[in-house]
Amino acid sequence: MVSQTVELLKNEIPLEQESVVLTEATVNGLVLVDIINGFCTVGFGNLAPREANRQISRMINKSERLARLFCEKKLPVMAFLDSHHPNKSEDPYPPHCFCRLGEEE
């Protein structure tokens, strides 16, 4: 069932898989969602801020600090990056985070 779902997703969205091994001793992890150019970098796409935004800057700085801390402690970090093929819409949102244009980075 899981492999069928993954295959369906691969047909609809850009998907890269990596294995993650969590031991029983692992009790903490960090999940980062959509901290990408298309949402956080001024003027970098339809859903990016139009001008500098202090709240976004604080969020990016805190996320980076936490990610570095988790990596230093060898704790798991998972990042979800919104990315789309240009010919597949995501209604009701405007086109955003196209692959290979840098918005998804």
Whole-number pLDDT of residue 63: 94
* Burial degree of 24 (CB within 10 A; 0-12, 13-18, 19+): exposed
Instruction: Find out whether 99 and 31 touch, Cβ atoms under 8 Å.
Output: no
pTM of the predicted model, to two decimals? 0.68
* pLDDT tens, position by position, 7-56: 777 777 766 777 777 677 767 889 999 999 989 999 988 889 999 999 99
